Amino acid sequence: MQKKTALITGVTGQDGAYLSEFLLKKGYEVHGVKRRSSLFNTDRIDHLYQDPHVDNQNFYLHYGDLTDSTNLTRIIQEVQPDEIYNLAAMSHVHVSFEMPEYTANADGIGTLRLLEALRLLGLEKKTRIYQASTSELYGKVQEVPQTETTPFYPRSPYAVAKMYAYWITVNYREAYGMFACNGILFNHESPIRGETFVTRKITRATSKIALGLQEKIYLGNLDAQRDWGHAKDYIRMMWMILQADEPEDWVIATNKTTTVRDFVKMCFAHIGVELEFKGEEEEEKGYVKSCNNPKYQLEIGKEVIAVDPKYYRPTEVELLIGDATKAKEKLGWTPKYDLQGLVDDMMTSDLKLMEKDQFLKDGGYKIMNYFE
């Protein structure tokens, strides 16, 4: 069988890294679009890097940006991909309130640029395209659990931009017969999740607190409820969506929802610590109630969680819970991780990472300051 070629935008991100690894294992030739930055930004894919001077290379990186259509058109022309996975985005909901215009440009119009490039290059019948749509489209609760037919009510500049991307994908499918699909993915996390998303912020900080490297965690809305899955399960579904017989839109979720507060409790439970929460809203705090792990000596009554309203969003998405029945029944998707498995995976990884920091600190290592 002829080797398939995939182009991944957002290859340096959480999903881009897992998807690259997955497709390479399937025998694909994988091309990724990465942004130029003043420091290396390829940590998550460095293990996949191949020396361009050796034979049989099957992983390539191209400089590019979703805000530059000439560059995207040239890359697509060079690569002639069978499949495009559009994962690139300014993906932080809170930051989108600070950068609404850029978010609209990259996350909304960026998708149009890719679709239009395929049409201009005459690839609309050859190349299948996956659009990274999101449960943030549901926003203000209309119905639960959310399915492919639940109405959208976006609550952030990020979600509004993604709503444009969703519909332009549907429109190009209907107008030009393109194999263009939306995966409406609910939150998915992993040990390589960006450090400012709430789950990773919590697993990193819990690990640091366990090792005496940090005192407490400041969080925003502890009542927000999310349907959290593991990124490894979700990227598999991205590929399945493009192998389907017909181009369609799909919800990917676990059908379970958990508050941020309960996620924190699960992370502390992983290190043998039980927490109790007291107080309301901005005054709420989390304290150590018991500590059953001799390795991590946390004082009973120690305050480890506090609320800082600066993490509140101008408009919040309070409750997400998705129903992935269609994906399960029609494509046979079954997730391998549940929430406990996800917490264990993230905590194990972050504890290891922070133990390295602790080792360096104990050894008297100080971070180099170039300006001293």
- Catalytic residue positions? 134, 136, 158
By CB under 6 A, tell whether 319 contacts ligand GDR: no
Least Cβ distance, residue 127 to ligand NDP (angstroms): 18
Least Cβ distance, residue 46 to ligand NDP (angstroms): 13
Radius of gyration of the chain (CA): 22
For residue 184, the one-letter residue type is I
By CB under 6 A, tell whether 14 contacts ligand NDP: yes
Give 353: exposed, middle or buried? Use CB within 10 Å, 0-12, 13-18, 19+. middle
By CB under 6 A, tell whether 91 contacts ligand NDP: yes
Rule CB under 6 A: choose which of 87, 275, 320, 354 binds ligand NDP.
Answer: 87
Spatial neighbors of 311 by CB under 8 A, at least 6 apart, are: 94, 218, 219, 220, 221
The rounded distance, in Å, linking the Cα atoms of 259 and 228 is: 10
By CB under 6 A, tell whether 343 contacts ligand NDP: no
Question: Looking at 61-69, 87-95, 207-215, 295-303, which segment touches ligand GDR (CB under 6 A)?
Answer: 87-95
Minimum CB distance to ligand NDP smaller for 87 or for 267:
87
The rounded distance, in Å, linking the Cα atoms of 58 and 120 is: 26
Q: Which residues of 281-298 are buried (b: 16+ CB within 10 A; e: fewer)?
A: eeebebbbeebeeeebeb
Question: Looking at 59-67, 309-317, 321-329, 336-344, which segment touches ligand NDP (CB under 6 A)?
Answer: 59-67
Q: Which does 198 bind (CB under 5 to 8 A by kind): ligand NDP, ligand GDR, none?
A: ligand GDR
Rule CB under 6 A: choose which of 10, 157, 191, 220 binds ligand GDR.
Answer: 220
Least Cβ distance, residue 342 to ligand GDR (angstroms): 13
Rule CB under 6 A: choose which of 6, 7, 12, 331 binds ligand NDP.
Answer: 12
Spatial neighbors of 135 by CB under 8 A, at least 6 apart, are: 146, 184, 185, 186, 187, 227, 251, 253, 320, 322
Q: Which residues of 314-341 are buried (b: 16+ CB within 10 A; e: fewer)?
A: eebbebbbbbbebbeeebebebebebee
By CB under 6 A, tell whether 134 contacts ligand NDP: yes
| Cis preceding-peptide flag for 145 (omega within 30 of 0) | yes
Least Cβ distance, residue 89 to ligand NDP (angstroms): 3
DSSP, collapsed to helix, strand or coil, labels residue 333 as coil
Minimum CB distance to ligand NDP smaller for 14 or for 225:
14
Using the structure block, give the residue that is written with the tokens 């407490």. Answer: 216
Using the structure block, give the residue that is written with the tokens 């029609």. Answer: 330
Give 4: exposed, middle or buried? Use CB within 10 Å, 0-12, 13-18, 19+. middle
By CB under 6 A, tell whether 181 contacts ligand NDP: no
By CB under 6 A, tell whether 66 contacts ligand NDP: yes
By rule CB under 6 A, what count of residues binds ligand NDP?
26
Return phi, psi of residue 7, to 5°. -115, 125
Rule CB under 6 A: choose which of 22, 24, 58, 67 binds ligand NDP.
Answer: 67
By CB under 6 A, tell whether 198 contacts ligand GDR: yes
Give the residue closest to ligand NDP by C-beta: 13
Rule CB under 6 A: choose which of 21, 83, 136, 350 binds ligand GDR.
Answer: 136
The helix-helix angle for 157-176 and 110-120 (nearest 10°) equals: 20
**What is the longest distance spanned by two Cα atoms in the chain?**
66
| Cα–Cα separations (whole angstroms), residue 336 to 13, 20, 342 | 22, 19, 10
By rule CB under 6 A, what count of residues binds ligand GDR?
21
Least Cβ distance, residue 160 to ligand GDR (angstroms): 12
Which residues are near ligand GDR by CB under 6 A? 91, 93-94, 134-136, 186-187, 196-198, 201, 219-221, 224, 226, 260, 311, 313, 316
Binding site for ligand NDP (CB under 6 A): 9-10, 12-16, 33, 35, 37, 41, 65-67, 87-91, 106, 132, 134, 185, 187-188, 194
